[in-house]
Structure 1
Amino acid sequence: MNLVPRFPVDDAELSALHARAFGGDPAEVRPWADRLQRHALTWIGAFDGARLTGFVQVSWDGGPHAFLLDTAVDPDRQGQGVGAALVRAAADQARAAGCEWLHVDFEPHLEHFYLDACGFRPTPAGLIAL
């Protein structure tokens, strides 16, 4: 596995990875490259040869807070440390940019991954559906 920060994003390839990881529509192509260039501090791809097998992005507030988003690992690579390696690399990139905090929201079934495998601690948070 090779981790590549700020790799050149192919919208179709990243959309297909997300569809596999989250059960989405594989025909839907989202404008990832444009969004990442405009809003992300960094993004990291996990590659097996030329194949994108994992992805994470880090957004930020321009100051001390960074936000982990869109962590995705191809189902055939889950449970092999790809996701944890992506999160560690994302934390390193955020730290190098001067961020002091890395936030993440996750669904209950991912608690073991984020708290145990990645070292996040639980905190109260709020959410408003828009």
Structure 2
Amino acid sequence: MTTTYGWRADFANADLDTLHAAGFGYAAQGLDWRSRLDRHSVGWVCARREGTLIGFVNVVGDGGVHAFLVDTVVAEQARGHGVGTALVAAAVTGARAAGCQWLHVDYEPHLTAFYQEACGFRETTAGLVAL
């Protein structure tokens, strides 16, 4: 089975809502992802296998040279096969082509090997305030 990756690829809101909800452990909410991405994103990458959305990552920008990876998700049945790594690589390429000079990502400790070893991010010091 071939997996394809598309920068700013088309998607159905319901498909992305379902994938995101399953990946992050909540019930699908009927979100209008298209409007959200059009307002806030430099771009996004969709991974598809046989026409089915199996992965997604969002690249949000600050309007300048910084971009941020958020919402990285791979369908459970597609995990462990390099889909996440390929999603992030496509996001790096897309962000660079869009004129971004820095790509940031926050992640939980159990994802350190993925982001640092598999995707090439380096550890930095950052701060966070829960709102």
Please classify the TM superposition score into its range, dividing by the shorter chain length: over 0.9
Mapping 1:1-130, distance limit 5 Å: 1-26=3-28, 28-130=29-131
Report the number of matched residues.
129
Deviation at 1:9, TM superposition (A): 2.8
TM-score (norm 2): 0.94
Task: Find the aligned partners of 1:34 and 1:49 in 2 and give their Cα distance.
Answer: 26
Provide the secondary structure at the position in 1 that maps to 2:77: helix
**Any conservation in 2 of the 1:67–1:104 contact (CA below 8 Å)?**
yes
* 1:49 Cα deviation after fit: 1.5
| Percent of pairs with identical residues | 52
Letter in 2 for 1:46: A
Distance, in Å, in 1 between the alignment partners of 2:40 and 2:76 is 27
Separation in 2, partners of 1:22, 1:129: 18
The structural deviation recorded for 1:11 is 1.4
1:72-101 Cα shifts (integer Å, max 9, x gaps): 000111110000000000000111111111
Q: Normalising by the residue count of structure 1, what TM-score does the alignment of the two structures yield?
A: 0.95
Deviation at 1:7, TM superposition (A): 1.8
Q: Which runs of 5+ in 2 are unaligned?
A: none
Distance in 2 of aligned mates of 1:23 and 1:76? 15
Where does the alignment leave 5 or more consecutive residues of structure 1 unmatched?
none
**AA in 2 matched with 1:80:** H
Runs of 4+ in 1 over 4 A off after TM superposition: none
What secondary structure sits across from 1:30 in the alignment?
coil
Once the two structures are superposed, residues 110-130 of structure 1 have per-residue CA deviations (whole angstroms, 9 ceiling, x without a partner) of: 111101110000001001111
Q: Deviations over 1:25-80 (max 9, x none)?
A: 14x22121100011100011000021000000101112111111100000111110
